[in-house]
Amino acid sequence: MNHLAANRRSSATAPIARIGERRKIALAGRLTWRDGSGTLRFASVVTRDVSDVDVFVECQIPASIPLFRLVHFQIERQGRDVADIPAVLQQGKILSAVYRVGPYRSSTGTPQGYALRLLVEPGHQVAAAGLTRQRLAVAN
């Protein structure tokens, strides 16, 4: 029985393999979500780490987003043309889930940042990477 407990501890301390290649990129973005009462909330963010399947963002204003909340994430338009960002982030709004909340700031009591899992289909990622992006006029 002690042998099993020792194996669990050693496997828990082993480094976790990353799903995608992370790139340190600071780009302006925006998060939108609905709070518990259904009110639409938004926050301006700056990306820190970006990969094909997740992104870590830091909020510019204090915002409290619960763990596992579904949010829409998008890079600001002027940042979408950067060559280093994944094709998925160049498309606009992406449904994402908050899967990790960063350490809390003592001054505001809110988290310093959030890790978001981009909810895109694996086949869609491959197809988006292979296509060339076409410029379309968008009316807002």
Of 25, 121, 38, residue with least CA distance to 75: 25
26 assigned to some structural domain: yes
Per-residue pLDDT of 103-120, as tens digits, reads 888 888 888 899 999 998
Expressed as residue numbers, the domain containing 78 is 20-130
How many angstroms separate the Cα of 121 from the Cα of each of 30, 74, 113, 134?
Answer: 22, 17, 25, 21
Q: For 122-137, how does the pLDDT look when each residue is reduced to its tens digit (9 = 90+)?
A: 665 545 545 444 555 6
Least confident residue range of 1-10, 39-48, 82-91: 1-10
User: So what's the pLDDT on residue 45?
Assistant: 95
What is the DSSP secondary structure assignment for residue 133, as one 8-state letter? P
* pLDDT of the residue at 41: 95
In a domain, 30, yes or no: yes
Quote the percentage of the chain above a pLDDT of 70: 72
Q: What is the longest distance spanned by two Cα atoms in the chain?
A: 65
What's the pLDDT score for residue 10?
Answer: 47
Count of Cβ atoms closer than 10 Å to residue 102 Cβ: 16
pLDDT per position as a tens digit, 11-21:
455 566 656 67
Q: What is the CATH number of the domain that holds 53?
A: 2.40.10.220
Instruction: Find where tokens 């094909």 sit.
Output: 52
Q: How far apart are CA 25 and CA 7, in angstroms?
A: 37
pTM, rounded to two decimals = 0.72
Confirm whether 98 is domain-assigned: yes
Task: Report in angstroms the alpha-carbon separations of 99 from 54, 115, 121, 135, 139.
Answer: 10, 6, 17, 33, 33
Residue 51 forms part of a structural domain: yes
CA 26 to chain centre: 13
Would residue 89 count as lying in a domain?
Answer: yes
Instruction: Report the number of distinct structural domains present in the chain.
Output: 1
Mean pLDDT in residue range 27-43: 94
